[in-house]
Protein backbone atom coordinates (compact mmCIF):
# COMPACT_ATOMS: atom_id res chain seq x y z
CA UNK A 1 0.00 0.00 0.00
CA UNK A 2 1.15 3.52 -0.66
CA UNK A 3 0.60 6.15 2.04
CA UNK A 4 -2.77 7.32 0.72
CA UNK A 5 -4.09 3.77 0.56
CA UNK A 6 -2.82 3.10 4.07
CA UNK A 7 -4.52 6.20 5.50
CA UNK A 8 -7.80 5.45 3.69
CA UNK A 9 -7.81 1.89 5.03
CA UNK A 10 -6.94 2.95 8.60
CA UNK A 11 -10.44 3.47 9.95
CA UNK A 12 -12.09 3.15 13.36
CA UNK A 13 -13.25 -0.47 13.44
CA UNK A 14 -15.55 -1.42 16.31
CA UNK A 15 -16.34 -5.05 15.45
CA UNK A 16 -13.69 -7.75 15.15
CA UNK A 17 -13.11 -11.47 14.66
CA UNK A 18 -12.53 -11.88 18.40
CA UNK A 19 -11.23 -15.44 18.23
CA UNK A 20 -8.54 -14.69 15.66
CA UNK A 21 -5.63 -13.99 18.00
CA UNK A 22 -3.17 -11.11 17.89
CA UNK A 23 0.15 -12.20 19.36
CA UNK A 24 2.17 -10.31 21.93
CA UNK A 25 5.01 -10.24 19.39
CA UNK A 26 2.79 -8.25 17.01
CA UNK A 27 1.80 -5.84 19.79
CA UNK A 28 5.45 -5.37 20.76
CA UNK A 29 6.34 -4.54 17.15
CA UNK A 30 3.54 -1.94 17.02
CA UNK A 31 4.88 -0.34 20.21
CA UNK A 32 8.42 -0.52 18.81
CA UNK A 33 7.31 1.74 15.95
CA UNK A 34 5.47 4.06 18.35
CA UNK A 35 8.50 4.47 20.61
CA UNK A 36 10.59 5.51 17.59
CA UNK A 37 8.09 8.25 16.67
CA UNK A 38 8.40 11.93 17.55
CA UNK A 39 8.10 13.05 21.18
CA UNK A 40 7.76 16.61 22.53
CA UNK A 41 11.11 17.70 23.93
CA UNK A 42 12.22 14.12 23.30
CA UNK A 43 11.06 13.31 26.84
CA UNK A 44 9.46 10.02 25.75
CA UNK A 45 7.11 9.68 28.74
CA UNK A 46 4.75 7.15 27.20
CA UNK A 47 4.45 3.60 28.51
CA UNK A 48 2.30 0.81 27.10
CA UNK A 49 0.31 -1.99 28.69
CA UNK A 50 -0.29 -4.90 26.31
CA UNK A 51 -3.17 -7.36 26.44
CA UNK A 52 -3.83 -10.26 24.09
CA UNK A 53 -5.12 -12.96 26.42
CA UNK A 54 -8.88 -13.44 26.90
CA UNK A 55 -8.77 -13.02 30.68
CA UNK A 56 -7.07 -9.61 30.62
CA UNK A 57 -9.14 -8.53 27.61
CA UNK A 58 -12.29 -9.32 29.61
CA UNK A 59 -11.08 -7.05 32.41
CA UNK A 60 -10.57 -4.17 29.97
CA UNK A 61 -13.70 -4.37 27.85
CA UNK A 62 -16.38 -3.27 30.42
CA UNK A 63 -14.61 0.05 30.98
CA UNK A 64 -14.77 1.24 27.36
CA UNK A 65 -17.42 3.34 25.60
CA UNK A 66 -17.73 2.56 21.93
CA UNK A 67 -19.92 4.77 19.71
CA UNK A 68 -21.59 7.92 21.01
CA UNK A 69 -23.48 8.48 17.74
CA UNK A 70 -25.03 5.00 17.89
CA UNK A 71 -27.07 5.27 21.13
CA UNK A 72 -28.94 2.00 20.54
CA UNK A 73 -25.73 0.00 20.16
CA UNK A 74 -24.03 -1.10 23.35
CA UNK A 75 -20.73 -1.97 21.77
CA UNK A 76 -19.40 -5.15 20.20
CA UNK A 77 -21.05 -8.37 21.36
CA UNK A 78 -19.21 -11.53 22.34
CA UNK A 79 -17.37 -12.90 19.34
CA UNK A 80 -16.99 -9.37 17.89
CA UNK A 81 -14.85 -7.85 20.64
CA UNK A 82 -11.19 -6.91 20.20
CA UNK A 83 -8.60 -9.68 20.26
CA UNK A 84 -6.02 -7.35 21.80
CA UNK A 85 -5.52 -3.97 23.44
CA UNK A 86 -2.74 -1.48 23.95
CA UNK A 87 -3.29 0.91 26.86
CA UNK A 88 -1.29 4.11 26.29
CA UNK A 89 0.00 5.61 29.54
CA UNK A 90 1.82 8.81 30.46
CA UNK A 91 4.52 8.35 33.08
CA UNK A 92 4.05 11.51 35.15
CA UNK A 93 7.42 10.97 36.85
CA UNK A 94 8.94 11.82 33.47
CA UNK A 95 6.54 14.56 32.30
CA UNK A 96 3.42 16.02 33.91
CA UNK A 97 1.91 16.26 30.42
CA UNK A 98 2.73 14.24 27.34
CA UNK A 99 1.45 16.96 25.00
CA UNK A 100 0.30 15.31 21.78
CA UNK A 101 2.69 12.36 22.06
CA UNK A 102 -0.15 9.93 22.69
CA UNK A 103 -1.90 11.03 19.48
CA UNK A 104 1.29 10.56 17.47
CA UNK A 105 1.86 7.14 19.03
CA UNK A 106 -1.74 6.02 18.54
CA UNK A 107 -1.84 6.93 14.85
CA UNK A 108 1.54 5.30 14.28
CA UNK A 109 0.23 2.10 15.87
CA UNK A 110 -2.99 2.19 13.86
CA UNK A 111 -1.20 2.70 10.55
CA UNK A 112 1.20 -0.13 11.35
CA UNK A 113 -1.69 -2.36 12.43
CA UNK A 114 -3.41 -1.73 9.09
CA UNK A 115 -0.25 -2.64 7.21
CA UNK A 116 -0.15 -5.88 9.27
CA UNK A 117 -3.70 -6.77 8.20
CA UNK A 118 -5.37 -5.66 11.43
CA UNK A 119 -7.78 -2.88 12.29
CA UNK A 120 -8.44 -0.94 15.43
CA UNK A 121 -10.18 1.83 17.27
CA UNK A 122 -8.63 4.62 19.34
CA UNK A 123 -10.78 4.95 22.46
CA UNK A 124 -10.70 8.05 24.63
CA UNK A 125 -14.07 7.40 26.29
CA UNK A 126 -12.75 5.21 29.08
CA UNK A 127 -13.72 4.78 32.75
CA UNK A 128 -10.13 5.43 33.81
CA UNK A 129 -10.55 4.86 37.55
CA UNK A 130 -12.26 1.53 37.03
CA UNK A 131 -9.74 0.43 34.40
CA UNK A 132 -6.87 1.39 36.69
CA UNK A 133 -8.30 -0.81 39.43
CA UNK A 134 -9.05 -3.68 37.04
CA UNK A 135 -5.48 -3.79 35.74
CA UNK A 136 -3.60 -2.63 38.84
CA UNK A 137 -2.05 0.34 37.05
CA UNK A 138 0.13 2.43 39.40
CA UNK A 139 -1.03 5.98 40.17
CA UNK A 140 1.90 7.70 38.46
CA UNK A 141 0.84 6.22 35.09
CA UNK A 142 -1.95 8.33 33.62
CA UNK A 143 -4.30 6.45 31.28
CA UNK A 144 -4.37 8.41 28.03
CA UNK A 145 -6.00 6.09 25.48
CA UNK A 146 -6.99 2.50 24.92
CA UNK A 147 -6.31 1.05 21.47
CA UNK A 148 -8.58 -1.86 20.53
CA UNK A 149 -7.13 -4.20 17.91
CA UNK A 150 -8.06 -7.27 15.89
CA UNK A 151 -9.05 -8.48 12.46
CA UNK A 152 -11.92 -6.19 11.35
CA UNK A 153 -15.37 -7.71 11.08
CA UNK A 154 -17.07 -4.71 9.48
CA UNK A 155 -16.85 -2.50 6.44
CA UNK A 156 -16.20 1.19 7.05
CA UNK A 157 -16.87 3.68 4.24
CA UNK A 158 -16.09 7.38 3.98
CA UNK A 159 -18.82 9.73 2.77
CA UNK A 160 -18.90 13.43 1.82
CA UNK A 161 -20.26 15.41 4.75
CA UNK A 162 -23.79 16.75 4.25
CA UNK A 163 -24.91 20.02 5.92
CA UNK A 164 -22.15 19.84 8.52
CA UNK A 165 -23.51 16.63 10.06
CA UNK A 166 -20.53 14.81 11.61
CA UNK A 167 -22.49 11.79 12.89
CA UNK A 168 -21.49 8.38 11.57
CA UNK A 169 -24.19 5.79 10.93
CA UNK A 170 -24.80 2.18 9.93
CA UNK A 171 -26.89 1.10 6.97
CA UNK A 172 -29.28 -1.87 6.77
CA UNK A 173 -26.37 -4.18 5.87
CA UNK A 174 -24.46 -3.08 8.99
CA UNK A 175 -21.84 -1.15 7.03
CA UNK A 176 -20.40 1.80 8.93
CA UNK A 177 -20.49 5.21 7.16
CA UNK A 178 -18.27 8.10 8.27
CA UNK A 179 -18.80 11.65 6.91
CA UNK A 180 -15.69 13.69 6.13
CA UNK A 181 -15.30 17.40 5.44
CA UNK A 182 -13.99 18.26 1.97
CA UNK A 183 -10.46 19.51 1.36
CA UNK A 184 -11.60 23.08 0.53
CA UNK A 185 -13.47 23.19 3.86
CA UNK A 186 -10.37 22.46 5.91
CA UNK A 187 -7.89 24.74 4.11
CA UNK A 188 -7.29 28.26 5.41
CA UNK A 189 -5.37 30.91 3.43
CA UNK A 190 -3.25 33.54 5.18
CA UNK A 191 -4.76 37.03 5.06
CA UNK A 192 -1.94 39.47 5.92
CA UNK A 193 -2.84 42.71 7.64
CA UNK A 194 -5.99 41.43 9.30
CA UNK A 195 -6.76 39.27 12.31
CA UNK A 196 -9.25 37.20 10.32
CA UNK A 197 -7.80 34.50 8.05
CA UNK A 198 -9.35 34.12 4.64
CA UNK A 199 -11.20 30.90 3.90
pLDDT at position 193 over 90: no
Tell me the angle at which helices 24-35 and 101-115 cross, rounded to the nearest 10 degrees: 130
With contact defined as beta carbons under 8 Å apart, do 149 and 85 qualify? yes
Please give the average per-residue pLDDT across 52-64, as a whole number: 98
The predicted pLDDT at position 2 comes to 95
Q: Which of 8, 1, 7, 28 is nearest to 149 (CA)?
A: 28
pTM, entire model:
0.94
pLDDT at position 174 over 90: yes
pLDDT at position 148 over 80: yes
Q: How far apart are alpha carbons 1 and 126 in whole angstroms?
A: 32
Tell me the pLDDT band of 192, cut-offs 50, 70 and 90. confident
Q: Is 75 left (phi over 0), alpha (psi -120 to 50) or beta?
A: left
pLDDT at position 197 over 70: no
Half-sphere exposure of 63 (CA within 13 A, CB side): 21
Q: List the beta bridge partners of residue 120.
A: 12, 149
> What CA–CA distances, in Å, run from 58 to 31, 98, 138?
22, 28, 20
The predicted pLDDT at position 78 comes to 96
Question: What kind and span of H or E run contains 107?
Answer: helix 101-115
Residue 105: exposed, middle, or buried by beta-carbon count in 10 A (0-12, 13-18, 19+)?
buried
Q: How far apart are alpha carbons 60 and 85 in whole angstroms?
A: 8
pLDDT at position 194 over 90: no
Tell me the pLDDT band of 191, cut-offs 50, 70 and 90. confident
pLDDT at position 154 over 90: yes
With contact defined as beta carbons under 8 Å apart, do 144 and 86 qualify? no
Count of C-beta atoms within a 10 Å radius of residue 108: 18
pLDDT at position 58 over 80: yes
pLDDT single digits (tens) 4-26: 999 999 999 999 999 999 999 99
Please give the average per-residue pLDDT across 173-196, as a whole number: 91
Q: Radius of gyration over alpha carbons of the chain, in Å?
A: 18
The predicted pLDDT at position 93 comes to 98
Q: Which of 12, 5, 6 is nearest to 178 (CA)?
A: 12
pLDDT single digits (tens) 61-109: 999 999 999 999 999 999 999 999 999 999 999 999 999 999 999 999 9
pLDDT single digits (tens) 113-147: 999 999 999 999 999 999 999 999 999 999 999 99
Amino acid sequence: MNMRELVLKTRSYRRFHEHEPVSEAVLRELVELARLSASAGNKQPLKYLLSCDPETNARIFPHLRWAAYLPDWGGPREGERPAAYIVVLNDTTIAASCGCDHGIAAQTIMLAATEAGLGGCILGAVDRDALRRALGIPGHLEIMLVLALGKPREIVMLEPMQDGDVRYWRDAAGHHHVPKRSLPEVLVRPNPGTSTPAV
